[in-house]
Copies of this chain bind each other. A is one copy, B any other.
Amino acid sequence: MTHIFEEGLGRREANYVALTPIDFIARAAEVYGDRPAIVYGETRRNWRETYERTRRLASALTRVGVGHGDTVAVLLPNIPEMVEAHFGVPMAGAVLNALNTRLDIASMLFMLRHGEAKVLIVDTEFGDFAHRVALELPHVRIVSVADVQPAEPGKFPNATDYEAFLAQGDPGFVWTPPADEWDAIALNYTSGTTGDPKGVVYHHRGAYMNALSNILEWDLPKHCVYLWTLPMFHCNGWCFPWTVAARAGVNVCLRRFEARYVLDLIRREGITHYCGAPIVQSAIANAPAEWREGITQKVHAMVAGAAPAPAVIAKMKEIGFDLTHVYGLTEVYGPAAVCAKQAHWDALDDDERARLNARQGVRYHLQAGVTVLDPDTLEAVPADGETLGEIMFRGNICMKGYLKNEQATEEAFRGGWFHTGDLGVLMPDGYVRIKDRRKDIIISGGENISSIEVEDALYRHPAVAVAAVVAMPDPKWGEVPCAFVELREGASVTVEEIIAHCRLFLAGYKLPKVVRFGELPKTSTGKIQKFQLRMAVGSDRAIDLAGDPPPKG
């Protein structure tokens, strides 16, 4: 039925434009063209120059036959070329597939094949991979970025240098928004611990929405100075390449994380905002005080990947950094929930506030919902802080689905919600609290034990820097909790002391039966690799953790 508000009032060119975060760089260049966009060592480029380089990239890609729906893979650290790829690739209508720089070559080859990449833009540091691609996937055009070292000819036999590639492109290239804002903009493989990685497909609309949500959560001002401590290959840096453009801010690039250098940059470049996993926050918070000297501006940090430990929250407060805890997964563009702070929390003691701040929280600004549902019936759990269910999202900040994997897509979206696989509870104040990954629940004598609950208890001990708890097979109980603990530098504690400490917080059956000290294995983004720990206890072989060097930074 057509009514008066529809008749003759359809969408048309003048009043309907597909949402795309690429437009943010166009406006930054138009309005704030002279302002700094990129800072990287001695390199300084303004938004006009950066926009020009991204158009050159789009034009050059177009000229080599890249078009709508083609995949362009990149393997780059957080250098300016990585920022450029986030605009130049989708401007050509293509899909950006940013590879994790810490992955093994076989996994990356799988991704290039599965994602059907036509072009690979790769830093010369990764010559071994480039060489394998040249041998095994000769149809993939390789563009090499010589950031710190020239391309070794033997490893990059047919590669084009990135700057030469840009030089072939037209700086005035006219890009158009996607025909449909539902078109894919990025492809990000999840680093599954079992089975093949799944290719998460992002759409322009969702990237646009999450880029804006980042602004809304942080009250992010125009011309913010953003430090790239979070890898851009990780959920497209939580959409921040687009966020920073929308604010005409500054991208302070960083080849690799090192706490002292990062604190130097924060001081020297006047950094106002950065993101990072708990390990990054911890390294910054626990750095020697003199490294922070001279930092006078307010610094805002966003943390996700795991709930920040109370000690880190307290330490950040002590050094005057403002910490925002967000929660999400690759499938929801990085952060899609936030532990929104409440004014009345200020009156609470540090421990209680830290506990509240460590929760996963509420839906992100432009996300439609996050909640906890019974994974089978999809009924809401009561907001009692106790009833376990699965954390689920819905809204415009959810992926299109998994590439070439309809079954996984259907399962993930069953019943109109995206199923995270994280188990949680809904608190009386409406905040979601994660209890565990489904696979991280320890079933001991028929009782469920949340490994996170045990970890929380461990983290409350002053000597504990990092803790992880996994299920260890047990002939009597089926499984029992096994704790892996990394101590603070200079601290020492016995197993008995740790157990006695845990007894203050945990029921007897939840106490770790085994405690091992040493550095924990972590992913490139600072997540603890529990599968390694599980392998260690499953095979009854302890990893020789104690022999490892102390954590860096």
Q: List the interface of chain A (C-beta within 8 A of B).
A: 3-17, 19, 23, 27, 30-32, 34-35, 68-69, 95, 116, 182-184, 187, 201, 206, 212, 215-216, 219-222, 246, 340, 342-344, 362-363, 365, 368, 393-396, 398-401, 403-404, 406, 409, 413, 416-418, 430
Shortest A367–chain B CB gap in Å is 9
Known contacts A15-B413, A365-B27, A416-B13, A95 near B395 by CB under 8 Å = no
Contact residues in B for A15 (Cβ distance below 8 Å): 206, 394-396, 398-401, 413, 418
Partner among B34, B183, B187, B216 whose Cβ is within 8 Å of the Cβ of A246: B216
The residues of B that contact A216 with a CB separation of less than 8 Å are 212, 215, 246
Is A8 within 8 A of B406, CB to CB? yes
Assuming the A-B contacts A16-B396, A212-B212, are A362 and B30 also in contact, with contact meaning beta carbons closer than 8 angstroms in the complex? yes
- Contacts A17-B395, A30-B362, A246-B365 known; A201 to B69 CB distance under 8 Å? no
Q: Which residues of B contact A220 (CB under 8 A)?
A: 219
Give the complex CA separation of A8 and B201 in angstroms.
11
Least Cβ distance of A258 to chain B in Å? 32
A182 touches which one: B11, B19, B343, B365 (CB < 8 A)? B11
Give min CB distance, A407 to chain B, whole Å: 9
Which residues of chain B are within 8 angstroms of A201 by Cβ–Cβ distance? 5, 9
A5 touches B400 (CB 8 A): yes
Check if B404 sits within 8 Å of A7, measured CB to CB: yes
A14 to B418, CA, bound (A): 6
Given contacts A27-B365, A216-B215, contact A396 B17 (CB under 8 A): yes
Known: A8-B409, A215-B215; 15 extra A-B contacts, CB below 8 A, are A5-B95, A9-B201, A13-B413, A13-B416, A14-B393, A14-B417, A15-B206, A15-B396, A15-B401, A17-B368, A17-B395, A19-B396, A23-B368, A212-B216, A219-B219
Compute how far the CA of A416 lies from the CA of B394 in the bound complex, rounded to whole angstroms: 34
Copy tally for this chain in the complex stands at 2
Given the interface pairs A14-B413, A15-B395, A399-B15, the reply to whether A183 lies near B5 with Cβ below 8 Å is yes
Smallest beta-carbon distance A410→chain B, Å: 8
- In angstroms, Cα B11 to Cα A69, docked, is 17
Residue from the list B4, B10, B16 in contact with A404, Cβ < 8 A: B4
List residues of chain B with CB within 8 A of the CB of A362: 27, 30-31
Listed by A's residue number, 18 A-B pairs whose Cβ atoms lie within 8 Å are A5-B69, A5-B183, A9-B400, A9-B401, A10-B400, A11-B182, A12-B416, A13-B413, A13-B416, A15-B394, A15-B395, A15-B399, A17-B396, A27-B365, A35-B343, A215-B215, A216-B246, A219-B221
Docked pose: A161 CA to B30 CA in angstroms: 52
Closest to A410 in B: B8
Query: Assuming A246-B216, A396-B17, A418-B14, is B363 touching A27 (CB within 8 A)?
Result: yes
A224 → chain B closest CB, angstroms:
10
Chain B nearest Cβ from A377, distance in angstroms: 16
Q: Which of B4, B221, B416, B430 has a CB less than 8 Å from the CB of A403?
A: B4
- Complex Cα distance A393/B5, Å? 22
User: How many Å from the CB of A26 to the closest CB on chain B?
Assistant: 9
Return A136 CB to nearest CB of chain B, in Å: 20
Are B403 and A5 neighbours in the complex by a CB distance under 8 Å?
A: yes
Chain B CB count within 10 A is highest, among A3, A398, A400, for A400
Whose C-beta in chain B lies nearest to the C-beta of A221? B219
Give bound CA distance, A98 to B87, whole Å.
41
Q: In the assembly, what is the distance between CA of A403 and CA of B183, in Å? A: 32
Q: Which residues of chain B come closer than 8 Å to A7, judged between CB atoms?
A: 404, 406
A14-B219 in contact (CB<8A): no
Shortest Cβ distance from A177 into B: residue? B368
Set of chain B residues within 8 Å of A3, measured between Cβ atoms: 68-69
Minimum C-beta distance from A362 to chain B (A) = 5
* Residues A9 and B409 in contact in the complex (CB < 8 Å), given A31-B362, A219-B219, A403-B4: yes
A116 near B4: Cβ-Cβ < 8 Å: yes
